[in-house]
Amino acid sequence: MREIFEDIVPIEPLDPTESAKRGLNAPRRARFYKTAGVAEADGQFAVQLDGKPVRTPAKRLLTAPSRALADAIAAEWDAQVEHIEPGKMPLTRLANSIIDGVAQTPQPVADEIAKYLGSDLVFYRAGSPDGLVRRQAEHWDPIVAFARETLGARFVLTEGVIYVSQPEPALAAARAAIPSDPWRLGALSLITTLTGSALIALAMAHGVLSDEAAWAAAHVDEDWNISQWGSDSLAEARRAGRFLDLQAASKVLRLLA
């Protein structure tokens, strides 16, 4: 059975662009099982198909640290109809990435999140037009306030796109909030990559931002341009797929709380 899972749900990198490409190119396989369920074993909750354990592409058991999260993963499998469509299984793809990737080498993942803190999206503000300036402030100021009040990190804001060094105490305070647990770390990494902001991801991890609010904050500039020039259907489809990935990462954070 391992070869089947390797083909239909490969190990997904946390880079959502590459993830989307793999999802589009993955072969469709007929549903070969009747039921998906969960069984507890050694303090973990294993996803099963017809009573048999599911394994990741690296042959590790597809397990989750909470029953609620394992049930959510199993529900993705149960929702498949005639064919198994990996593009509609973002939680399973993220679980594979965490189990086979993040859990094995967590430090590089944490380091990559920390890099975003040095040039986070919410630090770089437009000087004009007024409408965009107001939108950025509306969506981003609460995130900066969260960093200051909850994390104890006082960051510097700037106008334009020229790089500005952030105070080391602020960076250290925010880095200290990056989780070490591989499931939370993996979810945080995916949100950071999807939004371009480690602070948006940390705010979501602390329950400060809803999925929709985080997504809106991540796309202030893009939404402003769309309001001026319109959008196209392909871009909208790609964006919708990325939002599903963010929702999967958010679900991991919520179901581990």
The domain locations on the chain are: 2-102, 106-255
For residue 17, pLDDT over 60 is answered with no
∠ at Cα 189 (178, 49), nearest 5°? 115
CB under 8 Å to 177, separation ≥6 — which residues? 151, 202, 205
The candidate with the shortest Cα–Cα distance to 36, out of 9, 71, 86, 88, is 71
| Residue 166 to residue 154: CA distance in whole angstroms | 9
Cβ neighbours, 10 Å, residue 257 = 10
The per-residue pLDDT for range 158-169, each reduced to its tens digit, is 999 999 999 999
Percent of the chain with pLDDT over 70: 89
| Residue 53 to residue 55: CA distance in whole angstroms | 6
Q: What is the pTM of this model?
A: 0.90
Residue type, 48: Q
For residue 94, pLDDT over 70 is answered with yes
CB 242 within 8 A of CB 93: no
Segment 37-54 shows an average pLDDT of: 94
Mean pLDDT of the chain: 91
CB 175 within 8 A of CB 117: yes
The per-residue pLDDT for range 100-129, each reduced to its tens digit, is 999 999 999 999 999 999 999 999 999 999
What is the CATH topology of the domain spanning 106-255? Answer: ATP12-like fold (1.10.3580)
The dihedrals phi and psi of 62, each to the nearest 5 degrees, come to -80, 95
Cβ neighbours, 10 Å, residue 190 = 31
Percent of the chain with pLDDT over 90: 83
CB 126 within 8 A of CB 136: yes
User: Helices 233-255 and 211-218, interaxial angle, to 10°?
Assistant: 140
Segment 251-255 shows an average pLDDT of: 97
For residue 218, pLDDT over 80 is answered with yes
CATH of domain 2-102: 3.30.2180.10
For residue 2, pLDDT over 50 is answered with no
2-102 against 106-255: fold identical: no
For residue 12, pLDDT over 90 is answered with no
| Residue 31 to residue 18: CA distance in whole angstroms | 25
For residue 59, pLDDT over 50 is answered with yes
| Residue 61 to residue 47: CA distance in whole angstroms | 8
∠ at Cα 15 (65, 196), nearest 5°? 100
pLDDT at 220: 98
| Residue 252 to residue 51: CA distance in whole angstroms | 24
Segment 64-77 shows an average pLDDT of: 98
